Structure 1
Amino acid sequence: MCELKQNYRKGGFTFKQFFVAHDRCAMKVGTDGVLLGAWAPVKGVRAALDIGSGSGLIALMLAQRNPTLRVDAVELDHEAAAQAQENFNESPWAERLHIINQDIITYSQHSLTQYDLIVSNPPYFEPAVACRDKKRDQARYTCALTHDVLLKSAKSCLAPHGLFCLVLPYEVGERLQDMAGKSGWFTAFRVDISDKPKTGYHRMLLGIQLQEASVQQTSLALKNENNEYTEAFRKLIQPFYLKY
């Protein structure tokens, strides 16, 4: 999905309660991250982990939605981690947001925290063609973090009752869901995303867990036939977007 346009300060994106600077991050604020940050269940969650946090967008959204939630955000790239820390410091929830400049494999091997919720907007492009920007390459290609490694790392950090939520391109999401099912995960939630009601699905919100579950599967169109945001999508983004 394309980068969103709602910039009232240069170099970032202005939300109702916080600003996300992203000029030093490979991946900018976009619809994928907003969807995950607005959708992931936070009721009753005390500790959350954001894997590959980038600018810190999703962690900030989770902190806004739950006034007692503590979020640890793991980010490999030094510049992105530094900018996420600055975004956290400027937000109303600085004391509940913590950035860790480390790869998730190392973090998962040493962390003593078991998280109620883990979120990730993970890499998904296969590295068939090299990217000119190495940081963007790292952020978007599965060569830096395979989905198998991501699932294993999340499993190490997740509490027995916890939920792992991801946003992915639709076909990639189907493959990851199948991979997860073969390695001890159960799908609890799935939302198939389309641009409009009659167009094909292009994104997936996926919630998986380690306890057996019945799948709650729904769909969401972002816009109606008049090219306006649907009521369901507006309900998700209303707490964050200035125009709502």
Structure 2
Amino acid sequence: MSQQKAALRANGFTFKQFFVAHDRCAMKVGTDGVLLGAWAPVAGVRRVLDIGSGSGLIALMLAQRNDASVAVDAVELDADAAQQAQENCAESPWADRLTVYQQDICQYAEQSGKRYSLIVSNPPYFEAGSACASPQRAAARYTDTLDHQTLLSCAEQLICEDGFFCVVLPADVGNRFLEMATARGWFLRYRTDIADNETRPPNRMLLALAPHAGEQFLDSMVIRGPDQRYSEAHCSLTRDFYLFR
């Protein structure tokens, strides 16, 4: 591998079918995004939207998981991250059905006129507090740039009647988000509580909400087993993406 290619790979993450550069993104490729991209229900999906796409990771994962008829749109406010997401998507096997918009999601929801059968978001979840290294990282982490009520409102404008809106959040924040969503008329359909290992309580959750009531599916998963190896459930979920699973 050339020095130039080696340097590029050091600034990103290699998956089985695509590479994600993230050196110009405030939030790097991480466990939360991979879990959401691998977990979100895709049966019968017709069009996908990734809100706050960052590097484009989740959009790319969902393009991989869906067939060639499914278009995937990604909306990212930060100009540098949006540009990098565009480049990552253009280099992927699904460039012809991935579109990245550098835009505020509120403006996009008002102007796009589109409806989606699957909307995903790895949203900001910290309330404004200690300073971040950059304004871009603060925007990605703190809800003062995209609070959860606004996120839910945008999803309501963009979701199909039979669609799902999926998020990944820390456990305490996720419980509050679920209460907020339920009060707005959303219905919980899928929930997976995630723990780092069997000795610790769940510290994050995956939620799939829908505009209409239906059967609920609730479960839990540990990332690592007693031997600190990745659990079979985690390996099964992420096998199509991680290189060494």
User: Which TM-score band (shorter chain)?
Assistant: over 0.9
Q: Partner letter of residue 21 of structure 2?
A: A
Give the Cα separation in 1 of the matches to 2:157 and 2:174: 21
SS in 2 for 1:9: helix
Give the Cα separation in 2 of the matches to 1:148 and 1:213: 23
Q: Partner letter of residue 41 of structure 1?
A: P
Following superposition, the deviation at residue 124 of structure 1 comes to 0.4
Following superposition, the deviation at residue 129 of structure 1 comes to 1.9
Following superposition, the deviation at residue 128 of structure 1 comes to 2.0
Residue 31 in 1 paired to residue 51 in 2?
A: no
1:195 alignment partner in structure 2: 196
After the TM superposition, which of the residue ranges 207-216 and 176-185 deviates more from structure 2? 207-216
2:174 alignment partner in structure 1: 173
What runs of 5+ residues in structure 1 fail to find an aligned partner? 1-6
SS in 2 for 1:53: coil
1:41 alignment partner in structure 2: 41
Following superposition, the deviation at residue 44 of structure 1 comes to 1.4
Matches within 5 A, 1:38-117: 38-68=38-68, 69-117=70-118
Matches within 5 A, 1:220-235: 220-235=221-236
Equivalent pair of 1:8/1:14 in contact (CA under 8 Å): no
Give the Cα separation in 1 of the matches to 2:167 and 2:119: 9
> Quick one: structure 1 residues 8 and 240, their matched pair in 2 at CA, closer, same or farther if it must change by over 3 Å?
farther
Following superposition, the deviation at residue 111 of structure 1 comes to 1.4
Q: Partner letter of residue 88 of structure 1?
A: C
Give the Cα separation in 1 of the matches to 2:57 and 2:241: 11
Kindly report structure 1 stretches of 4+ aligned residues shifted beyond 6 Å.
Answer: none
When normalised by structure 1's length, the TM-score is 0.96
1:122 alignment partner in structure 2: 123
Following superposition, the deviation at residue 160 of structure 1 comes to 0.6
1:136 alignment partner in structure 2: 137
Following superposition, the deviation at residue 180 of structure 1 comes to 0.3
Following superposition, the deviation at residue 78 of structure 1 comes to 0.2
Give the Cα separation in 2 of the matches to 1:63 and 1:14: 16
1:151 alignment partner in structure 2: 152
Following superposition, the deviation at residue 46 of structure 1 comes to 1.3
Could you give the per-residue CA deviations for residues 143-195 of structure 1, whole angstroms, max 9, x where no partner exists? 00000000000000000110000000011000000000000100000000000
SS in 1 for 2:189: strand
When normalised by structure 2's length, the TM-score is 0.95
Could you give the per-residue CA deviations for residues 35-62 of structure 1, whole angstroms, max 9, x where no partner exists? 0000001121110000000000000000
Equivalent pair of 2:8/2:21 in contact (CA under 8 Å): no
Q: Partner letter of residue 50 of structure 1?
A: D
Q: State, as a whole percentage, how many aligned pairs show the same letter.
A: 55
Equivalent pair of 1:221/1:233 in contact (CA under 8 Å): yes
* RMSD between aligned residues: 1.1
Following superposition, the deviation at residue 216 of structure 1 comes to 1.1
Following superposition, the deviation at residue 8 of structure 1 comes to 8.4
